[in-house]
A and B are shown apart, each in its own frame.
Chain A
Amino acid sequence: MGKPIATVTVLHADSLYAAQPKIYPREIGGRFARLRIVAVFALLGIFYVFPWLRWDGRQAVLFDLPARKFYIFGLTFWPQDFFWLAWLLIIAGLGLFFVTSVAGRLWCGYACPQTVWTEVFLWIERACEGRRNQRIKLDASPWNANKLLRKGGKQLAWVGLSAWTGFTFVGFFTPVTEIAREIASFDLGGWEGFWIVFYGFATYGNAGFLREQVCKYMCPYARFQSAMFDQDTLIVSYDVARGEPRGSRKRSADPKALGLGDCVDCLACVQVCPTGIDIRDGLQYECIACASCIDACDEVMDKMGYARGLVSYTTESVSTGKPRHLLRPRTLAYATLLLLLCATFVWGVGNRAPLIVEILRDRNALYRLASDGSIENSYTLKIVNKTRSSQHLHWAVVDNEHARIVGLHDATFSTDDVGSLPLTLRAEPGALSGMTRIKIAVSDDAGMLTTLQSAQFYSPETR
């Protein structure tokens, strides 16, 4: 087990950047590895499958950028609803804070796209190049047919997966069946093609090439997560009191007689670490809480016949013998805020206006004098029907007996229709002077969807 371990070579004592040898994470099974596999399948399943689901004869989840409409199952979001999408992002952010304060970097270890895709890229690497020792040997060996085949196969699979990922990503923004058809007939639009390549390239670069460096050098969460930590947050930690002094020994030996702690110094925890740190040095910001070292150490403890948990998920309080508090001001505050935001979101999205009505003045003339002396103003009436059914709508002046609508005053709008219609208001000669605000009501036949909007009416000053 005396393999050279991955170490971080610091270039300059006070430099942020470090050159480091390649990290070869060793494969490990165990409780937390199984949990991660479940997370990978669930999350990537959602990503790869969702664009193909159908809902009401359209793609179930589609952020239709060309049409400027977002569909999420039964909900439709318009550009006017951007506020609620931003709200949703705030909820997601706060959710992350809450989870972090309770359970530490759960996000990093199991749910971050960086972790999830890197895991899959590692599976491919393992399938093509073998286990850790075989990979190290392969990299050190001179180029031959075997190495070329294994490395080439890996690259081919990586590029394939990246391309599929890029395709799926674009499938969230343009109907996926359309892109599939376009690709099948070699007729892909330039922009879709560009974004498939761009996102595929980003996947390849991040999961195949950069890996743990994204967590170390680029991730802002890694730098500020400590602000959400307290002594009751779950962290991966090494039980120093129990483990030290570390040292190798025979399985039959009595550690007490040798003056040793429970750590057999096998370095399994270091070899499995995807970021190449030694958890026995204490909590480090590079630790993404993937718990691979717990799995590795548990396996060794089992073999040695020692109790598990030399490296474990624990809190600072528990490891210093104090009780663990799940309910504490920090978690309660996050939870309350989160509940409030969620409730507001559900209420707000459920109570969005079913109609959007806008009255835009035509920009040419302030007013027009008709032959009988009456004054006309013209507008563009914009109506968006956000209901699920076709609506017959009519509009009328509600608060001014001197002004009336001439010409078109009703129309039918199919669902999701954005209509732009000419609207003309006419006032009797001399009835109005200067600028008057005139309220116009747009409503359906049943009078359920009444929306009021005001228009500015200009007429000559009569004084």
Chain B
Amino acid sequence: MAGTVPDDDPGAASPAVARIGAIAWPSFFAAGVATAVFFALIDPVELADIAWPRVPVPREFGYTIGFFMFWGATFGASAFTALLLSRPADRRG
């Protein structure tokens, strides 16, 4: 750990933190909305009964898997957009 103020502090924004934030947060938000809408209409237990009738899937597990599935998809899309929008100059930073 360096002794100077800005260097040793994780709070200082690096371009990487800002970029990851700009990908993670909107995708998290969109995944949250998608999860809420999807599971308001579909009971994960009933879905699991159709998909894997032999594996017991509790609702909490269904919700969690569903959320991360949505987040995976939205995160991928956001990351792709960020990649397409970034120019070589940004990537050097």
Q: Is the CB of B43 within 8 A of A68?
A: yes
Q: How far, in angstroms, from A86 to B3 measured CA to CA in the complex?
A: 50
Partner of A22, one of B12, B18, B19, B93: B12
Instruction: Kindly provide the distance from the CB of B13 to the nearest chain A CB, expressed in whole angstroms.
Output: 5
Q: Is the CB of A139 within 8 A of B13?
A: no
CB neighbours of B37 from chain A (8 A): 82, 86
Q: How far, in angstroms, from A85 to B26 measured CA to CA in the complex?
A: 21
Partner of A191, one of B21, B25, B60: B60
Q: How many A-B residue pairs have CB under 8 A?
A: 97
Instruction: Kindly provide the distance from the CB of B39 to the nearest chain A CB, expressed in whole angstroms.
Output: 8
Which of A96-104, A212-220, A237-245 lies at the binding interface? A212-220
Q: Chain A CB within 10 Å — which of B4, B10, B40 has the most?
A: B40
Q: Is the CB of A19 within 8 A of B5?
A: no
CB neighbours of B6 from chain A (8 A): 21-22
Say yes or no: is A141 at the interface (Cβ < 8 Å to chain B). yes
Number of interface residues of B (CB under 8 A): 34
CB neighbours of B19 from chain A (8 A): 17
Partner of B21, one of A66, A142, A213: A213
Please give me the residue from chain A that is nearest to B15 by CB atom. A17
CB neighbours of A209 from chain B (8 A): 10-11
Say yes or no: is A406 at the interface (Cβ < 8 Å to chain B). no
Q: Is the CB of B43 within 8 A of A15?
A: no
Q: Which of A285-304 contact B (CB under 8 A)?
A: none
Q: Is the CB of A19 within 8 A of B12?
A: yes
Q: Is the CB of A217 within 8 A of B22?
A: yes
Instruction: Decide if the interface of chain B is mainly helix, strand, loop or mixed.
Output: helix
Number of interface residues of A (CB under 8 A): 40
Known: A20-B12, A79-B41. A12 touches B89 (CB 8 A): yes
Please give me the residue from chain A that is nearest to B14 by CB atom. A19
Please give me the residue from chain A that is nearest to B60 by CB atom. A191
Q: Is the CB of B17 within 8 A of A65?
A: no
Q: Is the CB of A82 within 8 A of B93?
A: no
Known: A12-B90, A143-B1. A210 touches B21 (CB 8 A): yes
Instruction: Kindly provide the distance from the CB of A403 to the nearest chain B CB, expressed in whole angstroms.
Output: 30
Q: Is the CB of A217 within 8 A of B18?
A: yes
Known: A12-B90, A191-B61, A194-B64. A213 touches B13 (CB 8 A): yes
Known: A21-B12, A22-B9. A189 touches B60 (CB 8 A): yes
Partner of A11, one of B15, B61, B63: B15
Q: How far, in angstroms, from A15 to B5 measured CA to CA in the complex?
A: 24
Please give me the residue from chain A that is nearest to B21 by CB atom. A218
Q: Which of A1-24 contact B (CB under 8 A)?
A: 11-12, 14-23
CB neighbours of B89 from chain A (8 A): 12, 14-15
A-B residue pairs in contact (CB < 8 Å), sample of 27: A12-B89, A12-B93, A15-B89, A15-B93, A16-B90, A17-B19, A17-B93, A18-B15, A21-B5, A22-B5, A22-B6, A23-B11, A65-B59, A65-B60, A66-B59, A68-B59, A136-B5, A140-B5, A189-B60, A191-B58, A191-B60, A194-B64, A210-B11, A213-B13, A213-B17, A214-B21, A217-B18
- Please name the 5 residue pairs, one residue from A and one from B, whose CB atoms are nearest each other, closest first: A82-B40, A191-B60, A17-B15, A21-B6, A218-B25
Residues on A close to B: CB < 8 A?
A: 11-12, 14-23, 65-66, 68, 79, 82, 85-86, 136, 139-143, 174, 189, 191-192, 194-195, 209-211, 213-214, 216-218, 220
